[in-house]
Structure 1
């Protein structure tokens, strides 16, 4: 059975932390918190993707940025607002692959404490996956090579030549370094062509 491994955020589901924070503090403050530069939201969030608990994350951020307490503590309880929809066209690609008996596995940088929101919001799409490897649960995030070794154990075979779809260039590079047939996702139409070229779809 052929296998295709998909990243989730930016490939299958649309993720934007601003609406989650804005649910508590308003759009202007949320935009400033996430993108303004005073607080490094991306690095802070990556640590949760790599296994840090939100309790520890919030405590660390509150210690250094106490004036941003409302913003810091609003993200986790409002996380469902960060899932703003499905990436156009990818669900149809997943369905087509599933109908051709291709094994579908997800490999995602996502906190173990918030991953449940994905299948709750999009149950039909998540049901297509035979397995979901969550970085936060494994304690290591892409592009660390260890996550690809974990993926191999979960697959039950080496990742050499397995098609892997991700929108992050550094994660695509890491997948290739691990031996995967890594494809950078730029849209569903381009992905369809890549999958047809590999005879996974007609």
Structure 2
């Protein structure tokens, strides 16, 4: 039986959202480009420095002072790029994913329980809370940097379950990373790989959850 069949007519349900590139568009390029220009920023992000793995370590609990120190030791010639990301971090939060926020508000209005599980540095996450008021709609947000565990480690989902608390079995989870979705599925969550707000709305509707109309999402008529 598909997990979503268990949701029909059984509200309020629980939906767990990832934040970056699901509800908040995140792109490190503008932050780094603010200090070194777009070409150097692009080279830094696509070169052999390994930005994704370095940033993930901070998401998993390493302090930014320690992270920058480690990077400067191995890549001193990239000092400006390394320091730029934290210094101009606000520019990496490009803006809300408006359609997804509309979905979130609709779920909240219908009494659906809302949780969030995000890979985010503990030091930098407060900037998101200050900027995006819709984060207050979540009953609980598990921030990876605060618990020193990050997706796709399956243990992070068990930590969410203990802290929220919530039964993972059948809980709907939304993330743009296939690896994170696979990890969520492995612990029994009904996981959806996010691509667009319209696609997410259709997936949630299949599970019997209330969603905005295509017009409310700004989708063109077909």
- On whether the aligned pair clears a TM of 0.5, the verdict is yes
Partner of 1:44: 54
The 1-side partners of 2:178 and 2:99 are apart by 20
The 2-side partners of 1:47 and 1:62 are apart by 15
How far apart are 1:38 and its partner, in Å? Answer: 2.3
SS at match of 1:76: helix
How far apart are 1:189 and its partner, in Å? Answer: 0.7
1:182 to 184, 191, 194: 191
Partner of 1:91: 101
The 2-side partners of 1:39 and 1:157 are apart by 38
Structure possessing the higher radius of gyration over alpha carbons = 2
The 1-side partners of 2:199 and 2:41 are apart by 33
The 2-side partners of 1:64 and 1:195 are apart by 45
Spell out the pairing of 1:63-142 with structure 2 (5 A cutoff). 63-123=73-133, 125-142=134-151
Spell out the pairing of 1:25-36 with structure 2 (5 A cutoff). 25-35=36-46
Aligned residue-pair number: 200
Contact 2:15 2:172 in 1 (8 A): yes
How far apart are 1:155 and its partner, in Å? Answer: 2.3
Contact 2:60 2:145 in 1 (8 A): yes
SS at match of 2:210: coil
Partner of 2:200: 191
Can you list the C-alpha shifts for 1:156-189, whole angstroms capped at 9, x where unaligned? Answer: 2321110000010000000000100001111111
Contact 2:160 2:166 in 1 (8 A): no
- Displaced runs of 4+ in structure 1, greater than 2 A? none
Taking structure 1 as the reference length, what is the TM-score of the superposition?
Answer: 0.96
Matched, 1:6 2:6: no
The 1-side partners of 2:192 and 2:91 are apart by 29
How far apart are 1:195 and its partner, in Å? Answer: 1.1
Matched, 1:23 2:34: yes
How far apart are 1:141 and its partner, in Å? Answer: 0.3
Distance 1:150 1:165, change over 3 A: same
The 2-side partners of 1:148 and 1:122 are apart by 24
Taking structure 2 as the reference length, what is the TM-score of the superposition?
Answer: 0.88
The 2-side partners of 1:68 and 1:24 are apart by 12
CA RMSD after TM alignment: 1.0
Partner of 1:156: 165
Question: 5+ unaligned residues in a row in structure 1: which ranges?
Answer: none
